[in-house]
């Protein structure tokens, strides 16, 4: 059957508008990244840095000593009034430990600008010493009061309205520096740093022994130990004075890394799925929200004066507005889009509109697209692409550094005091609309967006972000019942587009959980619903019979419900909007469905249906013409209303999620052999996933490069066989008696002929020489960078000679069973190497089979949107398959709640 390209997008991506049951308490803070939000303390002063990283001689006084976790009492004595009144971010770096759900902010903190709260712009509780912690534990009433006010509150008055400083306390000599007694009156900035810095104690309230240590924490702690060991080894060769300095540095590093490890543990311990908030419309989704808006693309850069489009062979001097639009088409000149009649027509209509507002400077009138020559623009853009591709590694690294610095402020937001990653924060640049399939508006101009087009949603009382280009936001709203950060209306289809949090964020995760839980809930009602709609298939009321037949198609074949389309929208249909022309009948029980589905993807399926369904379709078609609706008495709204009488929140698309998940679970149970290898289990998983993709019509056309890709895979398989044959010959030379005992050692590979071997060895020779040359160039660059002498050219020459000698020797062995390995190996080692290659060849064959079977089906969409990821995670645990083998890194990030499921989970 024909299978065409399928969109990776799904209407199920949108958050569901229903509440879910089962709330539990969270146990920590969020596990998202740690880059600070721009404008919120990303450029930290010395005062804002963690103590372990501060320069020696820091002037931050008591705040520095307290944050360093020193047991010394000197920190109390040295405190100053100025420190107490500084914003939190300038005294102690806060490590946020937000509670699940909304985090109530104090009135005082709400007025503090984002950049002056803490290192991430958050308002979490700062780290405390043991004494401070015990005091705060005893006095819960002022736990939310800013530090400066707490200190003033507890300090006795001196009678003139000012608070007294506490009396200085003597510091034990063994706890201070060697010269502590002599420098007591020296200003803090001039005092020597403490010889030992202890890690800041973690507040007891955030420690959860029942939680396993996360990989990030383990990694951080291992790195700490490694660094400390390195420093300790160096100390032996140092003088006593230097050794003490080194020791202090190593302990500072240990404290800093330990603090980071603890912070990672606290962040990762926040599990939003254990504190699931309601996801229904109108419910509050957040309490506080801070972000930096969206990132607009840079303004248009004019082409060089020598690059101009031609009209009827003459150069056209276009103003920047018109030149930019012409460049859009010029850049796509060699693509299928530029040859498409509909695309060309829509582009030229919009191009003429722009030219009407911004005509050519030299007065050229452009009346026909066929007379336009965009080749000079195309060649310029191709040259620019080639330059970018030819950039050195250092240049690419520098370009990426600049790009990352520009994007950094927009990567994260603060949601209820937690750092959460933002999804599509980049504003879509102008260009030509491509659409999917036969979209009627493909080729139309997507206009450049400005701040005046954008609505920003942010917490009330929060600092409004400033756009990165001139302009003012169209509107700033404070709606905590929605989860979008910004929205705008695009000009081509008039659709609203939104900026949401990233796929792995808590709000997205809660929406996903609600969606799959709703599909699981359907299990309790589906039998009753099927019984009822089966009975209605013979109803005398035509509306009921049509509705029952429509539900049959939605339930059994995962058809989308379908909505009415406007005249300017693509003619895509679903079940309720099927027309007479979309269904062909073949007796006795065959229906052929052929129509454009979502995103203009063709749906073609030949169905063998029950006699009553066949009879109903014939009845519905009776007396109608090609363009008449098949289900003319059913609407999507009415259908969903009927479904909700069985279960709250039930709609037609819940069936797709339910049936996809059930099908996956059934196929996994059927196809998985517990005793199979991991590669065989992965093949079984992909076959189960393929059944789901076929059910949901996630089809695609075979890519143009598929044949070439398969050829490469077959060549890689032959290369493995080539290596195995060499090892077999070497083993038979050492153990000739095995020729009779083990027939597989003397069997020739059917696809290893002399011509292929000659081609393979010649290609490998070239690759080895290129690799040696690249390595030599890197050695030269490194030597120049470090100020050393460049390696001599003779070194490269010797390496190439050695490569040629080796491949000349292999050339002489062609057609012979006599081989000589690079390094001699005993028979046992040869046996082990052959066994490993046997396993690799076996597994690679499974990969080739899997790729060939999946050439017409997209497996990504079903895993992303329809299959409950807990089914996949439980299967992987049950059968010992690494989760990363069946779920991509992005999906593991999207579904962290699913990865923690038990192996006995059943949908």
| pLDDT, tens digit (0-9, with 9 covering 90-100), for 553-602 | 999 998 988 875 555 566 678 899 999 999 999 999 999 999 888 777 78
- For residues 84 and 148, the answer to whether their CB atoms sit within 8 Å is yes
CA distances from 396 to 10, 383, 389, 402, 596 (A): 35, 17, 9, 10, 43
pLDDT winner (highest mean) among 120-124, 260-264, 707-711 = 707-711
pLDDT in tens, 752-782: 888 888 999 999 999 999 999 999 998 988 8
Q: Report the run of H or E that residue 421 belongs to, with start and end.
A: strand 418-421
pTM score, whole prediction: 0.60
Mean pLDDT of the chain: 75
Beta bridge partners of 748: none
What is the model's pLDDT at position 699?
75
Mind giving me the DSSP string for 422-442?
A: BSS-BPPPPEE---SSS-TTT
Say how many Å lie between the first and final Cα of the chain, rounded: 31
Can you name the residues that pair with 608 across neighbouring β-strands? 590
Q: What span, in angstroms and rounded, lies between the C-alpha atoms of 112 and 148?
A: 13
Residue 242, Cα to own-chain centre: how many angstroms? 47
Check: CB of residue 672 under 8 Å from CB of residue 886: no
C-alpha distance from residue 281 to each of 34, 481, 609 (Å): 31, 7, 39
Q: Which of 270, 533, 866, 879 is catalytic?
A: 866
- Residue 182 pLDDT exceeds 60: no
Which residues make Cβ contacts (< 8 Å) with residue 408, sequence separation at least 6? 35, 38, 42
Higher per-residue pLDDT: 240 or 566: 566
CB 412 within 8 A of CB 420: yes
Q: Is the pLDDT of residue 93 over 50?
A: no
Question: What is the mean predicted confidence (pLDDT) over 827-832?
Answer: 90
Name the pLDDT band for 698 (thresholds 50, 70, 90): confident
pLDDT at 568: 54
Q: How far is the C-alpha of 563 from the C-alpha of 88, rounded, in Å?
A: 54
Supply the pLDDT for residue 650.
93
| Higher pLDDT, residue 166 or 647 | 647
Better-scored residue on pLDDT, 150 or 686: 686
Instruction: Give 455-466 pLDDT, tens digit per residue.
Output: 999 999 999 999
pLDDT, mean of residues 640-651: 93
pLDDT at position 257 is 55
Minimal CA–CA distance to 693: which of 663, 669, 666?
A: 663
pLDDT in tens, 470-491: 999 999 999 999 999 999 999 9
Q: What percent of the chain has pLDDT over 70?
A: 68
Third-level CATH fold of 310-395: Arc Repressor Mutant, subunit A (1.10.10)
Total residues found in the chain within this entry: 907
Cα 688–chain centre separation: 25
Active site residue 380: no
259-273, 346-360, 390-404, 424-438: range with lowest mean pLDDT: 259-273
Distance of CA 424 to the CA centre of its chain: 11
- Categorize the per-residue pLDDT at 198 as very low, low, confident or very high, splitting at 50, 70 and 90: very low
The set of residues, in sequence order, having a beta carbon less than 8 Å from that of 242 and lying 6+ positions away, is none
Question: 121-135, 596-610, 835-849, 856-870: which range is least confident on average?
Answer: 121-135
More confident call, 202 vs 388? 388
Q: Is 732 left (phi over 0), alpha (psi -120 to 50) or beta?
A: alpha
Residue 255 pLDDT: 54
- β-bridge pairing 412-415 and 418-421: antiparallel
- Looking at residue 449, what is its pLDDT? 96
Instruction: Name the more confident of 652 and 70.
Output: 652
Task: Name the one residue in this structure whose structure tokens are 């046992």.
Answer: 828
pLDDT reported for residue 276? 53
Q: Are 161 and 170 in contact (CB under 8 A)?
A: no
Tell me the pairing of strands 455-457 and 475-477: parallel
Cα 675 from Cα 683, distance rounded (Å):
14
Residue with the bigger pLDDT between 689 and 602: it is: 689
- Amino acid 704: pLDDT: 80
How deeply is 374 buried, as exposed, middle or buried, from its count of CB atoms within 10 A (0-12, 13-18, 19+)?
buried
Cβ distance 248 to 236 under 8 Å? no
Domain range summary for the chain, segments of one domain joined by +: 46-270, 310-395, 526-646
Dihedrals φ, ψ of 489, to 5°? -110, 120
Question: Which tokens go with 478?
Answer: 């404070």
pLDDT at 260: 52
Residue 41 has pLDDT above 70, yes or no: no
* Distance (Å, whole) CA 170 – CA 74: 7
CA distance 94 to 104: 16
- What is the separation of C-alpha 123 from the centre of its chain, rounded to a whole number of angstroms? 27
Whole-angstrom Cα distance, residue 703 to residue 419? 40
Buried b / exposed e across 503-525, counting CB within 10 Å, b at 16+? Answer: bbbbbbbbbbbbbbbbbbbbeee
Q: Would the pLDDT of 157 be above 80?
A: no
Q: Can you name the CATH fold of 526-646?
A: Topoisomerase I; Chain A, domain 3 (3.90.15)
pLDDT score of 252:
55
Q: Is-contact 607 586, C-beta < 8 A?
A: no
């Amino acid at each position: 059957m024909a299978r065409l390209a399928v969109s990776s997008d799904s209407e199920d991506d949108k958050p569901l508008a229903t509440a879910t049951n089962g709330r539990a308490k969270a146990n920590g803070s969020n596990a998202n990244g740690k880059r600070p939000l721009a404008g919120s303390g990303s450029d930290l002063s010395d005062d804002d840095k963690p103590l372990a990283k501060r320069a020696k001689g820091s002037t931050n006084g008591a705040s520095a000593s307290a944050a360093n976790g020193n047991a010394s009492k000197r920190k109390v004595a040295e405190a100053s009034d100025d420190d107490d009144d500084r914003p939190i971010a300038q005294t102690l770096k806060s490590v946020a430990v937000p509670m699940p759900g909304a985090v109530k902010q104090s009135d005082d903190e709400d007025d503090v600008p984002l950049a002056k709260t803490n290192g991430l712009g958050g308002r979490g509780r700062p780290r405390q010493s043991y004494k401070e912690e015990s005091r705060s534990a005893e006095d819960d009433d002022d736990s939310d009061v800013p530090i400066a006010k707490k200190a003033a509150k507890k300090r006795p008055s001196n009678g003139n309205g000012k608070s007294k400083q506490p009396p200085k306390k003597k510091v034990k000599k063994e706890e201070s520096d060697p010269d502590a007694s002599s420098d007591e009156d020296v200003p803090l900035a001039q005092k020597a740093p403490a010889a030992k810095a202890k890690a800041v104690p973690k507040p007891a309230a955030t420690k959860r022994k029942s939680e396993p240590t996360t990989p990030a924490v383990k990694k951080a702690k291992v790195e700490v130990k490694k660094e400390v060991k390195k420093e300790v080894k160096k100390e032996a060769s140092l003088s006593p004075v230097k050794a003490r300095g080194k020791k202090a540095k190593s302990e500072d590093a240990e404290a800093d890394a330990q603090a980071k490890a603890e912070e990672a543990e606290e962040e990762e311990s926040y599990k939003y799925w254990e504190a699931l908030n309601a996801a229904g419309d109108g419910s509050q989704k957040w309490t506080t929200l801070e972000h930096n808006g969206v990132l607009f693309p840079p303004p248009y850069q004019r082409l060089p004066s020598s690059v101009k489009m031609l009209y009827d062979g003459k150069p056209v001097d276009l103003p920047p507005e018109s030149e930019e639009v012409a460049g859009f088409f010029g850049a796509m000149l060699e693509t299928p889009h530029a040859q498409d009649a509909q695309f060309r027509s829509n582009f030229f209509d919009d191009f003429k509109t722009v030219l009407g507002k911004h005509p050519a400077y030299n007065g050229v009138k452009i009346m026909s697209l066929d007379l336009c020559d965009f080749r000079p623009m195309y060649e310029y853009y191709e040259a620019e692409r080639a330059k970018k591709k030819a950039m050195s590694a250092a240049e690419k690294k520098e370009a990426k550094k600049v790009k990352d610095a520009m994007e950094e402020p927009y990567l994260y937001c603060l949601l209820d005091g937690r750092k959460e990653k933002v999804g599509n924060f980049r504003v879509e640049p102008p260009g030509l609309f491509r659409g999917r399939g036969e979209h009627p508006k493909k080729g139309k101009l997507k206009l450049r967006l400005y701040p005046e087009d954008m609505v920003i949603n942010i917490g009330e009382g929060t600092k409004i972000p400033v756009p990165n280009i001139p302009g003012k936001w169209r509107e700033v709203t404070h709606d905590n019942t929605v989860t979008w950060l910004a929205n705008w209306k695009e000009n081509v289809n008039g659709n609203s587009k939104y900026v949401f949090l990233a796929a792995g964020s808590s709000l997205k995760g809660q929406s996903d959980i609600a969606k799959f839980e709703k599909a699981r809930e359907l299990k309790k009602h589906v039998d009753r619903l099927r019984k009822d709609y089966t009975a209605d298939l013979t109803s005398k009321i035509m509306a009921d019979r049509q509705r029952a037949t429509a539900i049959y198609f939605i339930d059994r074949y995962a058809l989308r419900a379908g909505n009415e389309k406007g005249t300017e929208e693509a003619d895509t249909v679903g079940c309720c909007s099927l027309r007479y022309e979309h269904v062909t009948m073949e007796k006795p029980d065959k229906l052929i469905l052929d129509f454009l589905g979502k995103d203009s993807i063709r749906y073609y399926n030949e169905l063998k249906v029950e006699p009553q369904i066949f009879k109903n379709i014939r009845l519905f078609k009776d007396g109608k013409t090609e363009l008449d609706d098949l289900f003319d008495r059913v609407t999507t709204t009415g259908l969903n209303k009927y479904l909700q009488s069985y279960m709250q929140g039930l709609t037609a698309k819940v069936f797709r999620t339910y049936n996809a998940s059930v099908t996956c679970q059934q196929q996994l149970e059927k196809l998985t052999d517990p005793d199979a290898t991991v590669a065989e289990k992965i093949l079984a998983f992909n076959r189960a996933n393929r059944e789901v993709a076929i059910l949901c019509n996630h089809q695609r056309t075979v890519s143009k490069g598929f044949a070439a890709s398969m050829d490469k895979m077959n060549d890689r398989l032959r290369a493995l066989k080539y290596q195995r044959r060499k090892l077999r010959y070497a083993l038979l030379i050492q153990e000739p008696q095995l020729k009779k005992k083990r027939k597989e050692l003397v069997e020739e590979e059917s696809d290893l002929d002399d011509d292929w071997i000659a081609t393979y060895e010649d290609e490998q020779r070239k690759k080895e020489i290129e690799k040696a040359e690249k390595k030599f160039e890197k050695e030269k660059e490194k030597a120049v960078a470090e100020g050393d002498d460049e390696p001599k050219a003779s070194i490269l020459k010797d390496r190439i000679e050695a490569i040629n000698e080796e491949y000349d020797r292999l050339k002489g062995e062609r057609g012979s069973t006599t081989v000589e390995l690079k390094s001699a190996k005993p028979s046992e080692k040869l046996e082990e190497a052959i066994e490993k290659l046997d396993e690799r060849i076996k597994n690679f064959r499974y990969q080739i089979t899997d790729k060939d079977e999946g050439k017409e089906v997209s497996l990504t969409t079903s895993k992303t949107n329809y299959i409950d990821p807990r089914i996949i995670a439980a299967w992987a645990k049950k059968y010992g398959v690494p989760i990363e083998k069946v779920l991509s890194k992005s999906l593991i990030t999207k579904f962290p709640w699913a990865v923690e499921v038990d192996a006995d989970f059943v949908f």
